């Protein structure tokens, strides 16, 4: 799918690494690795260098001073250091990196837990040769909250006793008050810290998704996601003017408060009394998190606040249609969509579909849209079928922290697997 003729030259995409470095700036991360796993420290040294250049404090926990010195120089302390908290604080102010030897009467994992809690560090990254945990089918599990972790352990997973012991220790860390524990390989550390996809598993006490309006500080990451969705064929190309409209009316789903898991926009047509859910896109790392459903619910709540008669969405994807169908949309014809929607689009004779000017979608059939029939004071639910557009009933829900519960079904998987809007 090519861009419309009047598309503006987009600025360079905001990199994933920039997004996470901005989030880590001024904070402290702990990285734990036994000395035996630090014999070839070059990869870890590169990550530490990137973090410290970013003015992120790094506390490296290991079992031997000799393993720490190549990574942090002379800035190595023992857990037995008097007034440990104040000493660590002063050392980090001077160098942004510090090694902490956690040998002694405690085993390595409990000692790391004690150090993390004493220093009040909010994220501990645990280096393990087997990386994050896997499902029975071999798929990596990106996020696990405490209750899910307990279920895994109760079910006897994993069968490897060493890994089971590690997960029990992660459970103990979360119960004791460590907010987040990442488990990944040394080779995957950079991806785990600096990419949307990650490489390991993030463990937290609770899971939640916060959906809120995008602000200026979110525009870089949001425009990057839109560019990704466009390149993958899930989102239609946009001019700079259209992109500005999406960002201005956009909203994002943030997992654990800061992982941008998905985006969408509600484009309101005041004259037509309707609104379009556009640029709905979620990242594959968050499939199964219910992100897409949260985004749609937020859009419908905002639509009700604006008093629109119906909401619609356009797509050329079978999966997107099923996704919207599960969220109260129904199919409708292109003629039911406001005429302004199709400006800059043309019909493709080969497929009978409607597409952006100078671009034919790879799949056929017409786009469709639905208009809600009224039932009492609010419009009746409508659904979107394959390659369609649709409208949905208005609903209300304030900006809120949403409990991270699996909603089940395709709707829980969000719109990356299920595509995105046609605009």
- Mean pLDDT lowest for which of 127-131, 209-213, 342-346, 389-393? 389-393
Whole-Å CA distances, 342 to 93, 252, 335: 57, 26, 10
pLDDT of amino acid 315: 82
Q: Is this prediction's pTM over 0.75?
A: no
pLDDT band at residue 374, thresholds of 50, 70 and 90?
very low
Alpha carbon distance 174, 181 (integer Å):
8
Q: Which of the pair, 272 or 395, is modelled with greater confidence? A: 272
pLDDT surpassing 50 at residue 3: no
Other Cβ atoms less than 10 A from the Cβ of 55: the count is 12
What does the pLDDT look like over 143-199, one tens digit per residue? 888 998 999 899 887 778 888 999 999 999 999 999 899 999 999 999 999 987 789
Alpha carbon distance 422, 357 (integer Å):
12
**218 near 1, Cβ under 8 Å?**
no
Alpha carbon distance 185, 166 (integer Å):
14
pLDDT band at residue 220, thresholds of 50, 70 and 90?
confident
- Mean pLDDT lowest for which of 261-275, 286-300, 376-390? 376-390
Alpha carbon distance 208, 215 (integer Å):
20
Could you give phi then psi for residue 240, rounded to 5 degrees?
Answer: -60, -40
pLDDT of amino acid 384: 32
- Enumerate residues 6+ apart whose C-beta is below 8 A from 226: 235, 238, 243, 246, 263, 279, 281
Longest pairwise C-alpha distance within the chain: 78
pLDDT of amino acid 302: 93
**181 near 128, Cβ under 8 Å?**
no
pLDDT of amino acid 385: 30
Average pLDDT over residues 322-333: 85
Average pLDDT over residues 45-54: 96
- Mean pLDDT lowest for which of 35-49, 231-245, 384-398? 384-398
What does the pLDDT look like over 65-77, one tens digit per residue? 999 999 999 999 9
pLDDT surpassing 60 at residue 413: no
Average pLDDT over residues 37-51: 92
pLDDT surpassing 80 at residue 375: no
For the chain, what is the mean pLDDT? Answer: 77
Q: Domains in the chain and their CATH numbers?
A: 16-206 (3.40.1160.10), 210-413 (3.40.630.30)
Q: Which of the pair, 32 or 331, is modelled with greater confidence? A: 32
């Amino acid at each position: 799918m090519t861009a419309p003729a009047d598309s503006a030259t987009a600025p360079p995409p905001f990199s994933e690494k920039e997004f996470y470095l901005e989030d880590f700036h001024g904070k402290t991360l702990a990285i734990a690795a036994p000395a035996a796993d630090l014999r070839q420290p070059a990869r870890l040294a590169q990550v530490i260098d990137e973090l410290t250049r970013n003015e992120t404090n790094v506390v490296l926990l290991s079992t031997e001073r000799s393993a720490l010195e190549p990574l942090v120089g002379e800035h190595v302390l023992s857990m037995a250091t008097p007034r440990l908290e104040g000493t660590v604080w002063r050392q980090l102010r001077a160098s942004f990196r510090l090694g902490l030897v956690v040998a002694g009467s405690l085993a390595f994992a409990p000692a790391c837990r004690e150090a993390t809690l004493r220093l009040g560090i909010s994220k501990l990254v645990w280096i393990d040769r087997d990386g994050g945990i896997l499902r029975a089918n071999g798929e990596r599990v990106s996020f696990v909250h405490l209750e899910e972790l307990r279920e895994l352990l109760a079910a006897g997973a994993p069968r490897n006793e060493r890994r089971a012991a590690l997960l029990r220790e992660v459970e103990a860390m979360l119960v004791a008050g460590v907010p987040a524990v990442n488990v990944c390989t040394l080779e995957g550390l950079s991806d785990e810290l600096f990419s949307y996809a990650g490489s390991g598993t993030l463990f937290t006490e609770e899971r939640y998704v916060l959906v809120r309006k995008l602000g200026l500080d979110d525009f870089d990451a949001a425009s990057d996601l839109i560019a990704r969705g466009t390149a993958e064929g899930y989102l239609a190309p946009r001019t700079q003017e259209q992109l500005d409209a999406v960002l201005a009316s956009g909203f994002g789903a943030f997992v654990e408060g800061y992982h941008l898991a998905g985006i969408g926009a509600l484009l309101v047509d005041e004259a037509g009394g309707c609104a379009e859910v556009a640029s709905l896109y979620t990242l594959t790392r968050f499939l199964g998190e219910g992100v897409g459903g949260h985004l749609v619910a937020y859009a419908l709540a905002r639509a009700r606040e604006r008093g629109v008669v119906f909401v619609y969405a356009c797509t050329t994807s079978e999966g997107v249609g099923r996704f919207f169908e599960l969220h109260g949309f129904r199919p409708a014809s292109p003629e039911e969509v406001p005429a302004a929607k199709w400006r800059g689009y043309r019909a493709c004779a080969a497929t009978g579909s409607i597409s952006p000017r100078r671009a034919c979608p790879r799949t056929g059939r017409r786009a469709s849209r639905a208009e809600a029939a009224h039932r009492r004071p609010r419009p009746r639910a409508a659904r979107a079928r394959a390659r369609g557009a649709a409208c949905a009933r208005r609903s209300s829900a304030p900006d809120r922290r949403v409990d991270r519960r699996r909603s089940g079904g395709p709707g829980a998987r969000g719109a990356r697997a299920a595509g995105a809007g046609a605009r």
